[in-house]
Chain A
Amino acid sequence: MLRYVLKRLLVAIPTLFVIITISFFLMHIAPGGPFNMEKGIPPEIKANIERVFHLDEPVLSQYLRYLNNLIHGDLGPSYVILNFSVAELFAKSLPVSLWIGSLAMLFSLVAGCAMGVVAALRHNGLIDYIVVTLATAGSTIPTFVTAPLIQLVFGLTFHWIWIGGWHEGALAALIGPVITLALPQLATVARLMRGAMIEALHTNHIRTAKAMGLSDYSIVIRHAMRGALLPIASYAGPAAAGLLTGSIIVESIFQIPGIGRSFIDGALNRDYTMVMGTVIIIAVFTIVFNLVSDILYAVIDPRVRYD
């Protein structure tokens, strides 16, 4: 197992390198640069700015400079949020997105699994229909609809939560973004869990377990759920990577100072270093969580062995 993990991590290095290279050149192909403004600036001023940020050099030498800095752990300065390095900005924004993302992930996994199991146990019953309806709604209603709705109801009408802002992570500021982020995941998890659970309850080993007179609790939790968790495990990895690296929509609507906006804002502003930094973070998270997902798979399903 350890050898497998090490091998996967080693493979990740060239993968990352390829991602960085492609992103870097794609970014520079886009017309305009970080200092093209609505109001044009005199050429000599533009030349000064470009010289300071080495943007006057050929793209290839900019690329080599970037790689060299990166190897030394330097993500470079942001071209848009001046006087802040990308690393400094991430140090503030990444924890925010991580915290909101993990709360949302936890919430959707626990609540989604519970809903899925209950629905499967009451297959074709009232509860099942309710869960299926909710799950369909959850995964079809986009976050840019749920977020303003949550703001309107819980923020404006009941005054229970902050409509916007981080407020140092106060509970009242967390609820809105966490629920908005969690709902679609929760819906997917519930649907996956329900399907897998219904299937698992009809397998031969469950029938055997029932025939042997095991308790319902033991059948559901120890035997059926274990198998039913497999699709959840493979879904949760990439989903977690997505949630933890922030969401542009949720962070903009709730004005959360997280990392999700860096990608889009960075791309639109041609903040090259910021985009590259975000690409690297998303790539690393995706690689790591896919690995975690595969390991979990082996833990849950004894038939899977990575040797």
Chain B
Amino acid sequence: MFKSLLTSAALFALMSSTAFADSVWNRGANGDVQSLDPHKTSTVEEANILRDLFMGLITEDTEGNAQPGAAESWTVSPDGKVYTFKLNQKDVWSDGSPVTAKDFVFAWRRVLDPKTASEYASMAFPVLNAEAINGGKAKPEDLGVKAIDDYTLEVTLKGPTPYFLEMLTHQAMYPVSEANLKKFGDDFIKAGNMVSNGAFVLAENVPNDHIKLVKNPKFIDAANVKLDVVNYIPTEDRAAGIKRYQAGEVDSMNDFPTEQLADLKAKFGDQIHVTPELGTYYYVFKTKKAPWDNPKLRNAISMVIDRDQLATKVWQGSMLPAYSIVPPGSKGYTPSMMSYADMPQLDREDAAKKVFDELNISPAHPQKLEIRYNTSENHKNTAVAIQEMLKPFGFDVSLINTDGKTHYSYLEQKGDFDLARAGWIADFKDPVTFLNLGHTGDGNNYADYSNKDFDALLDKAAVEPDSAVRMKELSDAEAIYMKDIGILPLLYYGNHNVVSPKLHGFVDNVMDKHPSRFVSKD
């Protein structure tokens, strides 16, 4: 036994020494991918890998901000409906063939084709006829996108969409090589088949083990790409992940056991990055059901929930207290906070107590309240903490825990509930992605919230060409949303990265986007 351990030690030493010949980023990931087809992916892990493999018209800089990608310039018609993109002629596929406007036309028709069954087809919905095509009511050829010539792409939208450029950074809008797809069909995503236009190309894909990308010498900015290899290494068990980091098996991890945050900070110091993310952890009331249809009651409950305690005690400082649904961090947007955001907790409780008295809710006349949440230790702890916070005011809180699929299908099918947990991480950097959660009829409006003024402001903002005016309208809409507690924000998500001091160019940002092309390793 001991001997075999020694042999393995020698083997390990051998493996480690050969692994560092190239510049390799062993990039720990919290989960594995479901697909590498840009049109069929939906998770954060997939987005991270695809960002290295492909480049859309618009791409991200080190901080996740939009910058020109496959398009070198563009013009927008005065009515905000027609975008004309000039493609960068130096942008080529990894097989050397040029990336043309036709590839984009092909790709966008494909993502909308009902047969592709893309989960994120909705990213293309601002384009003229996109929704109809996806619903099978129009032909892919009817899509409002045209290749004027090889390097000019004209996109017609169904209405002005101020965040359209931001949406183009999403993987659903990436180009795919028409020739490549014609050759391999859906198997184009397999290593050896795939042709891409990003900084890296796919070398290996072993499900649940690793995905290896190697530098793409044909990439438009290959001269500035310093890494030779990026290995995406999934480690679902976060405690094991941090051990792998410590042992040097991975150079970074995009999550860690947050319940150990204090210990980890003591051990790793500034290698532990906890930064705000563009995401909100929230609860929803069933706003059509008595007594939760009363905004006063919803507000009073919101007031007695001590968010500081949730953030620091339950989440160990890995999340931040939230008083708005849109987290801070969208350019040009000031979130509208709840009116009591700056009120001390004790004063809030006094104000809430008055409302409860009015409604005759007290420990002597308790009000039943059921909280539903999906399985997770932290979701449970959060619900238990809230249960304790509400108890002294006369709420008889019961907790119902189901697995994620059951939970969300229950919410989507408008099941009967009092209060339920959900979360939202921005797909693109614009407040509207959060505010749409409250739009009447939106599929994610689990609260069944409906307010005409709120809807009107959102609809107005959707066609407003002036960015400053639009942001003001959205902020006003949020003020209504918060005043009504149409949704009950609790915490802003935080990004949790642990990053080796050997890595350079890893810049924290609210979208937690870290394109490997900007990273280097000692």
Which residues on A are within 8 Å of B, measured CB to CB?
30-33, 35-45, 48-49, 51-53, 80-84, 89, 92-93, 148, 151-152, 154-156, 158-167, 170-172, 175, 252-257, 261, 268-270
Given the complex of chains A and B, what is the CA–CA distance between A48 and B34 in angstroms?
Answer: 18
CB distance from B467 to the nearest CB of A (A): 26
CB distance from B31 to the nearest CB of A (A): 10
Among the listed B8, B35, B186, B406, which residue makes an inter-chain contact with A160, where contact means beta carbons less than 8 Å apart?
Answer: B8
Among the listed B35, B121, B206, B240, which residue makes an inter-chain contact with A45, where contact means beta carbons less than 8 Å apart?
Answer: B121
Residue of chain A at shortest CB distance from B411: A40
Q: Is B249 touching A163 in the complex (CB atoms < 8 A)?
A: yes
Among the listed A48, A160, A164, which residue makes an inter-chain contact with B249, where contact means beta carbons less than 8 Å apart?
Answer: A164
What are 20 contact pairs spanning A and B, CB under 8 A? A32-B407, A33-B405, A36-B405, A45-B119, A45-B134, A83-B186, A148-B240, A148-B243, A151-B243, A156-B246, A163-B243, A163-B247, A164-B235, A165-B209, A165-B244, A172-B9, A252-B236, A255-B233, A255-B240, A261-B208
Q: Across the interface, which residues of A come within 8 angstroms of B206, CB to CB?
A: 92, 166, 257
Q: Across the interface, which residues of A come within 8 angstroms of B403, CB to CB?
A: 268
Known: A31-B405, A156-B247. A52 touches B207 (CB 8 A): no
Q: Assess whether B387 is interfacial by the CB under 8 Å rule.
A: no
Q: Across the interface, which residues of B come within 8 angstroms of A84, CB to CB?
A: 207
Which residues on B are within 8 Å of A, measured CB to CB?
4-9, 11-12, 15, 34-35, 37, 40, 42, 114-119, 121-122, 131, 134-136, 186-187, 189-190, 206-210, 233-237, 239-241, 243-244, 246-247, 249, 402-412, 422-424, 443-444
Q: Across the interface, which residues of A come within 8 angstroms of B247, CB to CB?
A: 155-156, 159, 163
Q: Is A31 touching B237 in the complex (CB atoms < 8 A)?
A: no
Q: Is A93 touching B8 in the complex (CB atoms < 8 A)?
A: no
Q: Is B122 touching A41 in the complex (CB atoms < 8 A)?
A: yes
Given the complex of chains A and B, what is the CA–CA distance between A163 and B409 in angstroms?
Answer: 37
Q: Across the interface, which residues of B come within 8 angstroms of A261, CB to CB?
A: 208
The residue among A82, A152, A253 with the most chain B CB atoms within 10 A of its own CB is A82
Known: A148-B240, A163-B243. A83 touches B37 (CB 8 A): yes
Q: Is A41 touching B119 in the complex (CB atoms < 8 A)?
A: yes
Residue of chain B at shortest CB distance from A49: B117
CB distance from B493 to the nearest CB of A (A): 12
Residue of chain A at shortest CB distance from B188: A83
Q: Is B9 touching A81 in the complex (CB atoms < 8 A)?
A: no
Given the complex of chains A and B, what is the CA–CA distance between A175 and B118 in angstroms?
Answer: 41
Given the complex of chains A and B, what is the CA–CA distance between A268 and B187 in angstroms?
Answer: 26
Among the listed B119, B135, B404, B422, which residue makes an inter-chain contact with A35, where contact means beta carbons less than 8 Å apart?
Answer: B119
A-B contact number at CB 8 A: 173
Q: Across the interface, which residues of B come within 8 angstroms of A252, CB to CB?
A: 236-237, 240
CB distance from B184 to the nearest CB of A (A): 11
Q: Across the interface, which residues of A come within 8 angstroms of B404, CB to CB?
A: 38, 268
Q: Is B11 touching A255 in the complex (CB atoms < 8 A)?
A: no
Q: Is B12 touching A39 in the complex (CB atoms < 8 A)?
A: no
CB distance from B110 to the nearest CB of A (A): 13
Q: Across the interface, which residues of A come within 8 angstroms of B249, CB to CB?
A: 162-165
Residue of chain B at shortest CB distance from A79: B34
Residue of chain B at shortest CB distance from A160: B9
Please classify the interface of chain A as helix (H, G, I), strand (E, B), loop, or mixed, using the class held by over half of its residues.
loop
Rank and list the top 5 A-B pairs by shortest CB-CB distance, nearest first. A32-B405, A32-B409, A257-B208, A82-B35, A172-B8
Q: Is B409 touching A172 in the complex (CB atoms < 8 A)?
A: no
Known: A81-B34, A92-B206, A172-B12. A165 touches B233 (CB 8 A): yes
Q: Across the interface, which residues of B come within 8 angstroms of A154, CB to CB?
A: 5
Residue of chain B at shortest CB distance from A82: B35
* Additional A-B contacts beyond A156-B243, A164-B249 (16; CB < 8 A): A32-B405, A32-B406, A36-B412, A37-B119, A40-B443, A45-B118, A45-B122, A45-B134, A81-B207, A83-B187, A155-B247, A166-B209, A171-B11, A252-B236, A253-B237, A255-B209
Residue of chain A at shortest CB distance from B42: A37
Given the complex of chains A and B, what is the CA–CA distance between A200 and B287 in angstroms?
Answer: 73
Given the complex of chains A and B, what is the CA–CA distance between A52 and B247 in angstroms?
Answer: 44
CB distance from A51 to the nearest CB of B (A): 7
Q: Across the interface, which residues of B come within 8 angstroms of A255, CB to CB?
A: 208-209, 233-237, 240
Given the complex of chains A and B, what is the CA–CA distance between A256 and B234 in angstroms?
Answer: 10
Q: Across the interface, which residues of B come within 8 angstroms of A44, CB to CB?
A: 131, 134-136
Known: A44-B134, A268-B405. A51 touches B9 (CB 8 A): no
Given the complex of chains A and B, what is the CA–CA distance between A39 and B279 in angstroms?
Answer: 12
Known: A32-B406, A42-B443, A164-B249. A82 touches B239 (CB 8 A): no
Q: Is A167 touching B15 in the complex (CB atoms < 8 A)?
A: yes
Q: Is A160 touching B405 in the complex (CB atoms < 8 A)?
A: no
Q: Is A254 touching B240 in the complex (CB atoms < 8 A)?
A: yes
The residue among B189, B240, B422 with the most chain A CB atoms within 10 A of its own CB is B240
CB distance from A108 to the nearest CB of B (A): 13
Q: Is A270 touching B122 in the complex (CB atoms < 8 A)?
A: no
Given the complex of chains A and B, what is the CA–CA distance between A11 and B357 in angstroms?
Answer: 70
CB distance from A57 to the nearest CB of B (A): 15
CB distance from A166 to the nearest CB of B (A): 5
Given the complex of chains A and B, what is the CA–CA distance between A175 and B122 in angstroms?
Answer: 47
Given the complex of chains A and B, what is the CA–CA distance between A53 and B186 in angstroms?
Answer: 15
Given the complex of chains A and B, what is the CA–CA distance between A123 and B402 in angstroms?
Answer: 51
The residue among A30, A83, A148, A257 with the most chain B CB atoms within 10 A of its own CB is A83
Given the complex of chains A and B, what is the CA–CA distance between A41 and B443 in angstroms?
Answer: 7
Given the complex of chains A and B, what is the CA–CA distance between A42 and B120 in angstroms?
Answer: 9
Given the complex of chains A and B, what is the CA–CA distance between A35 and B405 in angstroms?
Answer: 9
Q: Is B408 touching A40 in the complex (CB atoms < 8 A)?
A: yes
CB distance from B15 to the nearest CB of A (A): 7
Q: Is A48 touching B37 in the complex (CB atoms < 8 A)?
A: no
Among the listed B40, B135, B190, B240, which residue makes an inter-chain contact with A164, where contact means beta carbons less than 8 Å apart?
Answer: B240
Given the complex of chains A and B, what is the CA–CA distance between A135 and B145 in angstroms?
Answer: 70
Given the complex of chains A and B, what is the CA–CA distance between A83 and B212 in angstroms?
Answer: 18
Given the complex of chains A and B, what is the CA–CA distance between A84 and B507 in angstroms?
Answer: 35
Q: Is B9 touching A158 in the complex (CB atoms < 8 A)?
A: yes
Q: Is B35 touching A81 in the complex (CB atoms < 8 A)?
A: yes
Q: Across the interface, which residues of A come within 8 angstroms of B237, CB to CB?
A: 252-253, 255
Q: Across the interface, which residues of A come within 8 angstroms of B134, CB to CB?
A: 44-45, 48
Among the listed A31, A81, A170, which residue makes an inter-chain contact with B15, where contact means beta carbons less than 8 Å apart?
Answer: A170
Given the complex of chains A and B, what is the CA–CA distance between A51 and B209 in angstroms?
Answer: 31
CB distance from B180 to the nearest CB of A (A): 14
Q: Is A257 touching B12 in the complex (CB atoms < 8 A)?
A: no
Known: A167-B15, A170-B11. A253 touches B240 (CB 8 A): yes
CB distance from B117 to the nearest CB of A (A): 4
Q: Is A43 touching B443 in the complex (CB atoms < 8 A)?
A: yes
Residue of chain A at shortest CB distance from B407: A32
Q: Across the interface, which residues of B come within 8 angstroms of A45, CB to CB?
A: 117-119, 121-122, 134
Q: Across the interface, which residues of B come within 8 angstroms of A175, CB to CB?
A: 4-5, 8
Q: Across the interface, which residues of A come within 8 angstroms of B424, CB to CB?
A: 39
Q: Is B186 touching A36 in the complex (CB atoms < 8 A)?
A: no
Q: Across the interface, which residues of B come within 8 angstroms of A81, CB to CB?
A: 34-35, 207
Given the complex of chains A and B, what is the CA–CA distance between A175 and B409 in angstroms?
Answer: 42
Q: Across the interface, which residues of B come within 8 angstroms of A163, CB to CB?
A: 240, 243-244, 247, 249
Residue of chain A at shortest CB distance from B206: A257
